[in-house]
Structure 1
Amino acid sequence: MKNYIISILTMAVLASCGNKEDKEAAEKAKADSLAKVPTTNNRILGVARIEPEDGILNFTAGTSGKVLAVLIKENQIVQKGQSLITIENSLENAQLAQSESKIATQKAAIAVNQANLEAAKVSLKNARDTYERNLRLFEGNAQTKQAVDDSKATVDRLMKDVETAAANIEQSKSRISELQADINYFRTAVNQKKVNALVSGKVLKVAVKTGDYVTNTTQIAEFAPTGSLIAKTEVDELYAEKIQLGQKAFIISQTTGDTLANGSVSYAADYLKQKSLFKDQSTEQEDRRVRDVSIRLESGKMPLIGSRVDCVILLK
């Protein structure tokens, strides 16, 4: 029993030493990495988070309906305009087809009204000729007053017919404009069911699956636009004014201490704010103010998006 206890204690001591050695090795690697940074006191060390330069985009459905198919997966590179998901659109397609069929019917009605107008014009011309002939005969006492009045009445009736046919054509044309507006609306509704990528980039997270019902504001994916990565950090107000665009910087792994990438300051806010990026707790009180700074990564092993790293900004 005594030997058993001694063995356990021995293993615990060895494990403790192993953990201590691992920690010391990581610290040494980090120190070695920092040693590779040009040795100068004119540098600022900070903690940064890796993000796309244009930020992480949250794609929303922009319409409502049942998801028939998810066409993307995480880590996939997609191009601008590429379809992301397919949403059921049978109702919108039916409404579009119905409106298009009404257009054809209305065009046929215009053709009929146009034919009626032409026939009415011919009849009106003939009636006017008859009226004028009867009028001349009446003036020569060769026709009765009743015949003149009847032919005049026929002219008046046919003039009304011509006006009515012309009005029917205009009304049908107006109705076609209304139906065309309906068609444009339903085409837009159909197109809205096609959820496409607004920009090129990488899918970080897919938030929907086949069979889900989505609305206009339902998030379907998190997306990293194509472009440079940045290390976003906050510089304490004590050093904030020393930051300038173009200053060189190094990005260092908090895990291994290796230098991951090089870059330069691409953005520095024109104002100070309360510390927010790396508070340990949401309720943490922070009296000091900081300046937002972004470092565009230019070369090296690019860290994972969202990872937390150390950064060194050279002031000269």
Structure 2
Amino acid sequence: MKRSPMSFSLMPGMPVLAAALLALAGCSPSSDSASVVTSAAAQAKPQSQVAVARGKIDVEGGLLDLSAAAPGLVQQLLIKEGQAVQKGQLVLRMADDAARADLAVAESELQLAQTKLKTRQERLPVLKTALTRWQSAAKQGAADLQNVDEAMQALRDAQAEVDIAGAEATVAKRKVEQLRALQQRHELRAPEAGTVVRLETQVGSMLQSGSHVAVLLPQRPLIVRAEVNESFVSAIREGMKAQVSVDGDAAPTKQDLPSATVLRVSPVYGTARLQDDTQRGPVRIVETVLAFDQPPVNAKVGQNVRVSFHE
């Protein structure tokens, strides 16, 4: 059979292929699809690092040096290194026999003065009653005004004795308080809860006023003090996130630390203590303090770290 010039036959599979081509030709990506892809890509994009700095783990306020408030001989040392102590716990007591004796005498004097005052005060109601009676009798003509004057003078004298006894009792009380305060200077107590890091004395040692007794690690959250090079200071701000890692030979997988947040950036420049440049000399830095987002495990005060600041 003779074919027409305009006629042709379709090969197997041609209808499916043509439909697919027509579908592709008639469709184009919508703006919504593009925005979804762009958003997903933005979320997948890692945070950009703006600066890296060296730092040290510290505790807010630093370690506490416990010192003797008065000179004396160490009689009791009630702590040891590594021990946890509570606020107000007795740490050390020095020999204070003389101070105790003085305090005992002062307490006896106070008791005597208070007894004397009480005795003088007990006379006043009796003398006031007597004066009232003489005044009443004088009004009725049954007593002389001289008797009234004598009763009034006796009351004045008694009141003066009460005032003097009260002053003596006050002085004795102040003396006792002073001696108790001096005795307390022979004792040393923990100013806050913490752990004893180091002892610097022992029983039998003679201490001077201000002598170091122990070093205390206070029970406060750990922080990071990072030295940000002056070239990157403008990129650091409060609230910025950072990743903290151990700066040393320890295995990173075991020594990774929690992320941290910038608490404050120092308003002054300083000289680096954790980094140096042998060619240019001292490095100018700004100290930045960061707080861990969660308590670090096995981190120690004084540990060297690297801090990576992120946008």
Q: Is this a same-fold pair by TM over 0.5?
A: yes
Q: 1:48 to 1:174 in 2, by over 3 A?
A: same
Q: 1:199 aligns with which of 189, 192, 198?
A: 192
Looking at structure 2, the residues matched to 57 and 211 of structure 1 have their Cα atoms a distance apart, in angstroms, of: 23
Looking at structure 1, the residues matched to 55 and 128 of structure 2 have their Cα atoms a distance apart, in angstroms, of: 84
Aligned letter for 1:66? Answer: L
Looking at structure 1, the residues matched to 146 and 265 of structure 2 have their Cα atoms a distance apart, in angstroms, of: 87
Q: 2:205 aligns with which of 209, 212, 223?
A: 212
Deviates further, 40-49 or 223-232: 40-49
Q: 1:254 to 1:103 in 2, by over 3 A?
A: same
Shift of 1:175: 0.9
CA contact (8 A) 2:50 2:235 kept: no
Q: Which has the higher helix share?
A: 1
Q: 1:117 to 1:292 in 2, by over 3 A?
A: closer
Q: 1:158 to 1:233 in 2, by over 3 A?
A: same
Shift of 1:235: 0.9
Shift of 1:116: 5.9
1:180 aligned onto 2:173: yes
Aligned letter for 1:59? Answer: L
Deviates further, 155-164 or 185-194: 155-164
Shift of 1:74: 1.6
CA contact (8 A) 1:202 1:223 kept: yes
CA contact (8 A) 1:204 1:224 kept: yes
Looking at structure 1, the residues matched to 107 and 57 of structure 2 have their Cα atoms a distance apart, in angstroms, of: 52
1:93 aligned onto 2:100: yes
Structure-2 residue corresponding to 1:16: none
Residue aligned with 1:278, SS: coil
Number of matched pairs: 261
Q: How does 1:124-135 map to 2 (within 5 A)?
A: none
Q: How big is each residue's C-alpha offset from its partner over 1:154-213, in whole Å with a ceiling of 9 and x where there is no partner?
A: 775665444323211211011111111112222222333331111111111112211223
Deviates further, 239-248 or 167-176: 239-248
Structure-2 residue corresponding to 1:63: 70
Structure-2 residue corresponding to 1:166: 159
Structure-2 residue corresponding to 1:262: 258
Residue aligned with 2:231, SS: coil
Q: 1:233 to 1:158 in 2, by over 3 A?
A: same
Q: 1:165 to 1:263 in 2, by over 3 A?
A: same
Shift of 1:127: 8.3
Residue aligned with 2:258, SS: strand
User: Which runs of 5 or more residues in structure 2 are unaligned?
Assistant: 1-44
Residue aligned with 2:291, SS: strand
Looking at structure 2, the residues matched to 177 and 314 of structure 1 have their Cα atoms a distance apart, in angstroms, of: 64
Aligned letter for 1:71? Answer: L
Looking at structure 2, the residues matched to 99 and 43 of structure 1 have their Cα atoms a distance apart, in angstroms, of: 69
Shift of 1:72: 1.4
1:76 aligned onto 2:76: no
TM value normalised by structure 2:
0.69
TM value normalised by structure 1:
0.68
Structure-2 residue corresponding to 1:11: none
Tell me which structure has the larger Cα radius of gyration: 2
Residue aligned with 1:185, SS: helix
Aligned letter for 2:271? Answer: K
Deviates further, 293-302 or 228-237: 293-302
User: Which runs of 5 or more residues in structure 1 are unaligned?
Assistant: 1-37, 137-147
Shift of 1:312: 3.4
The alignment's C-alpha RMSD in Å is 3.5
Q: How big is each residue's C-alpha offset from its partner over 1:38-61, in whole Å with a ceiling of 9 and x where there is no partner?
A: 987725333222212332122222
Structure-1 residue corresponding to 2:303: 307
Q: 1:247 aligns with which of 233, 241, 245?
A: 241
CA contact (8 A) 1:265 1:293 kept: no
Q: 1:52 to 1:160 in 2, by over 3 A?
A: same
